[in-house]
Amino acid sequence: MNGQRISTGIDELDLLVEGGLRAGRSYLIVGEPGTGKTIFGLQFLYKGLLNGEKSLYVAIDEQPAEVIEQAASLGWDLSPYIEKKEFLILDASGYINARAGDNQAKSDMHKIITELSIRIKQTGATRVVIDPVGPLIFSGESVARVQDQARMLFYALKNHAVTTTLVTSHSAGRNVRGIEEYLVAGTIVLEMELASSRFVRTLTLEKMRSTALDPAQYLFKIIPGRGIVMQQTSE
């Protein structure tokens, strides 16, 4: 299955990237708060659930209950999948707290990776979302240390050959990127822009390894009951 294309959950986006994301790779969804990163992640996981795939959501900024509520507001009922153990929300906030103020960052990264690997195997998850990845790898340490941690995480994820991972990251703008961008197979940028005194949502395909793509910016909406829906570029 490694290298096959799997649906992003957004039909119009799949068409733009040769059918979808490459199975087994990691991708970065980057954008400021409110741009739709969590919804993108949930839509990706829900698509998998509908296909009979297992999914894992690693919650860092939000409580599992909030994630379930957010999905429900978009028409995606996660509870049957949680009951059937096809969908698991891993509350990773504890790892972040445990790290604050001590020098155990390295071993904690090992712990995070071990826990993540166990959960991926346990659930048989072929889709994983880490939302957001920043707090796991940044902790006020040197750039070199952060790079090490990011590398450890992404290399560990590579060992799960059939698992495709989306990690989300905050960004202050298109020129500001974390080092995690160099470690992923693709980057999708979500933004909100003011156009004729209205905010519009945009999605930019910034990087997609081994994929022919038009580096254009696309408009999208977040619609209750449907999630992210891309609009015709001519609109």
Ligand X SMILES: Nc1ncnc2c1ncn2[C@@H]1O[C@H](COP(=O)(O)OP(=O)(O)O)[C@@H](O)[C@H]1O
Q: Which does 35 bind (CB under 5 to 8 A by kind): ligand X, Mg ion, none?
A: ligand X
Preceding peptide of 132 cis, ω within 30°:
yes
Q: State yes or no: residue 63 binds ligand X (CB under 6 A).
A: no
**Of 36-44, 85-93, 120-128, 204-212, which segment contacts ligand X by CB under 6 A?**
36-44
**Residue closer to Mg ion (CB basis): 37 or 127:** 37
Indicate which of ligand X, Mg ion, none lies near residue 101 (CB less than 5 to 8 Å, by partner kind).
Answer: none
What gap in Å lies between CA 91 and CA 72, rounded to an integer? 18
Output the CA–CA distances (angstroms, integers) from residue 201 to 14, 36, 94, 179, 223, in the order listed: 18, 9, 33, 25, 12
As a whole number of angstroms, the distance between CA 27 and CA 163 comes to 12
Strands 54-59, 125-131: parallel, antiparallel or unpaired by DSSP? Answer: parallel
Q: Which is nearer to ligand X, 24 or 31 (CB)?
A: 31
For residue 128 the two structure tokens come to 């994983």
Stretch that binds Mg ion, among 11-19, 32-40, 114-122, 226-234 (CB under 5 A): 32-40
Q: How far is the CB of 128 from ligand X (least distance, A)?
A: 16
- Note whether 171 binds Mg ion by CB under 5 A: no
Q: Which residue is nearest to Mg ion (CB)?
A: 38
Q: CA 143 to CA 82: how far, in whole Å?
A: 38
Return the sign of the alpha-carbon dihedral for residues 18, 23, 28, 33.
positive
Least CB distance from residue 29 to ligand X, whole Å?
Answer: 8
List residues binding ligand X (CB under 6 A). 31, 33-39, 73-74, 222, 224
